Chain A
Amino acid sequence: MHEYSIVSALIEQCEQHAQANHADKITRVDIKLGVMSGVEPSLLQTAFDTFKLDGICKEALLNMQIQPLVILCQDCQSESVLSERTIVCPACQSYRTRVLDGEDMLLMQLEMEQDED
């Protein structure tokens, strides 16, 4: 259940961005979760909906983009999006691949609101 720790870090970041931009409300939080980032999206959603209630993200919608694994084969140079959790090149079965995406947890965008006055 490290999703709660991750959500605390996420909300803390949102609060800092809101402060730096003089916003008093965050209405949408866009994140990108790699399938190999080690986070369960549904648990993260629950954690976010629980933790957001105390702060600036109170009314924020969490928008999760699930990023599949993307690899670049160093033998046949083909780039592939994988559905399985392996890093084997589907084109030539090579093990010499480099993971380009799908392992990170990133905050991508924030939609924020300011009072008129």
Chain B
Amino acid sequence: MCKDCGCSLTRHDHDHLGAHAHSHEHSHEHSHDHSHTHEHSHQELHTNPQLNDKKTLSVIHKILDKNDIEAGHNRAHFETHNITAFNIMSSPGSGKTTLLENLKEYTQLNYAVIEGDLETSRDADRLLAKGITAYQIQTGSACHLDAFMVHGALHHLPLEGLDICFVENVGNLVCPASYDVGTHKNIVLLSVPEGDDKIEKYPVMFRRADVVFITKCDLLPYFDFKLDEAKAQLKKLNPTTQIIEVSIKDGDSMQAVAAWLKDNIRGAQ
């Protein structure tokens, strides 16, 4: 036990008693009963962690440290292949897969997609049908992708010749924001029918965004979605993040998406 004390920090207010307890333990190493009575009498006055053989260890360690290390591995893996990886996050149904299906017509960049859903491989099938390389992760009941799941998927994707790997996260504006999956930038989608208040309601997600695509903008005439309001809210959380208005029915807006991707490829800036 004494050997361990070097790497642990006791509470300051007990330091003196703590040292005292050590000498006791040593001298009475082989008579447990005796040392117990000693401890007991002390404990009535002070709850001393050392006397009770308790110790406080200062750690300061990120709780998701293991995930973050794995995320670092994934990023290094992408970089070895000269690939830029984007984590695409949004609510379910805001148009992540549709955007990726249609993007192919607007960019020369070669991309593949890692799909995350609770069930089915429908999204990957949709992309494969368009000739886009895709691999589906089924998370079961997990509400987000983590770096380990993405690592597993990387073994199934041919990475040669790719410029971009998209990780299409599970549709969810909450949980995916806490996990680094090993991508380089975060793209967050917000569709017009969801409402402009979502940025304020889900600040953690929008704080993590490197770009926000407002999707389904062809529906703007039919909804009370205020673009100015969305921009004002985003600025309060994330002042440098750009908003791009997107509709897959508007080729110019899709060109803007393609241009943003081109500008944000590693080494492009």
Mark each residue of chain A from 84 to 117: 1 if its CB lies under 8 Å from any CB of chain B, else 0. 0111100000011000000111111111111111
- A9 near B32 with CB under 8 A, answer no
8 Å CB contact of B59 from A17, A22, A38, A85: A17
List of B residues within 8 angstroms of A103 by Cβ: 207
Mark each residue of chain B from 178 to 211: 1 if its CB lies under 8 Å from any CB of chain A, else 0. 1100000000000000000000000111010000
Q: Does A67 have its Cβ within 8 Å of any Cβ on chain B?
A: no
- B1 near A113 with CB under 8 A, answer no
8 Å CB contact of B236 from A17, A27, A87: A87
List of A residues within 8 angstroms of B237 by Cβ: 85-87
- Bound form: Cα–Cα A106–B63 in Å: 5
- A21 near B54 with CB under 8 A, answer no
**For chain B, which range describes its interface: under 10, 10 to 19, 20 to 34, or 35 or more residues?**
35 or more
Kindly name the residue among A28, A36, A104 whose own CB sees the greatest number of chain B CB atoms within 10 A: A36
- Bound form: Cα–Cα A36–B205 in Å: 9
Would A108 and B67 be within 8 Å (CB), given that A1-B175, A21-B4, A85-B237 are in contact?
A: no
Mark each residue of chain B from 60 to 82: 1 if its CB lies under 8 Å from any CB of chain A, else 0. 11111111000000000000000
**For chain A, which range describes its interface: under 10, 10 to 19, 20 to 34, or 35 or more residues?**
35 or more
List of B residues within 8 angstroms of A86 by Cβ: 203, 236-237
- A96 near B61 with CB under 8 A, answer no
Task: State the Cβ distance, A51 to closest chain B Cβ, in Å.
Answer: 13
- A38 near B236 with CB under 8 A, answer no
- A13 near B32 with CB under 8 A, answer no
- Bound form: Cα–Cα A32–B7 in Å: 21
Q: Does B55 have its Cβ within 8 Å of any Cβ on chain A?
A: yes
- Bound form: Cα–Cα A110–B58 in Å: 7
- B57 near A9 with CB under 8 A, answer no
- B60 near A106 with CB under 8 A, answer yes
A2's nearest neighbour on chain B, judged by CB, is B175
List of A residues within 8 angstroms of B207 by Cβ: 36, 87, 103
Task: State the Cβ distance, B35 to closest chain A Cβ, in Å.
Answer: 8
- A2 near B57 with CB under 8 A, answer no
- A87 near B239 with CB under 8 A, answer yes
Task: State the Cβ distance, B86 to closest chain A Cβ, in Å.
Answer: 19
Would A111 and B144 be within 8 Å (CB), given that A6-B64, A36-B207, A86-B237 are in contact?
A: no
- Bound form: Cα–Cα A111–B178 in Å: 27
Would A5 and B146 be within 8 Å (CB), given that A21-B4, A38-B175 are in contact?
A: yes
List of B residues within 8 angstroms of A9 by Cβ: 63-67
Across chains A and B, which 3 residue pairs bring their CB atoms closest together, nearest first?
Answer: A2-B175, A95-B239, A86-B236
A-to-B contact residues, CB < 8 Å: 1-2, 5-6, 9-10, 12-13, 17, 21-23, 27-28, 31, 36-39, 85-88, 95-96, 103-117
Given pairs A22-B4, A28-B56, A107-B61, 15 additional interface contacts (CB within 8 A):
A2-B143, A6-B178, A10-B63, A13-B65, A21-B57, A27-B54, A36-B203, A38-B177, A86-B236, A103-B207, A107-B59, A107-B60, A107-B63, A111-B55, A116-B53
Sampled A-B contacts (11; CB under 8 Å): A1-B143, A1-B175, A2-B175, A5-B146, A9-B66, A21-B4, A86-B203, A86-B236, A96-B239, A107-B60, A110-B56
